[in-house]
Amino acid sequence: LWADPKGDWRDWARAAEWFRTALAEAPRGALAAEARGRLMEALSEAGDERGAHAAAQQYLALHPTGPYQALAERLLSSGSSP
C-alpha cells in the first residue's frame, strides 16, 4: 500500500491512482502484471466495484495465467470482494 504524508496506510483509492500511473508509464513493463493485480485489489478495497470488475476483465485478457488470476476470477464471479 501507499502511505500519504500523514501516514495513512489504508488509502486504497490513492493506491489505485498510483497503480494507474505506473501502468500508463509502462503498460508492458516487467511489473505490469503485478501493477494490474494490485490495481484490482485497490479498487475493490476502495469500494469501486465497477472499476474492480473492469480491471479484472483487463487483467484476465492480458495475463490469463498471471499471479492474480484467482482474484480476477473471484471479482468477476462474486462481486468485488478480494
- Identify the pLDDT of residue 9: 60
Could you tell me the CA-to-CA distances from 25 to 29, 32, 58 in Å, in that order? Answer: 9, 10, 17
pLDDT in tens, 50-76: 999 999 999 999 999 999 999 999 999
Task: With 0.85 as the threshold, say if the pTM is over it.
Answer: no
Mind listing the pLDDT tens digit for each residue in 2-49? 455 555 567 899 999 999 999 999 999 999 999 999 999 999 999 999
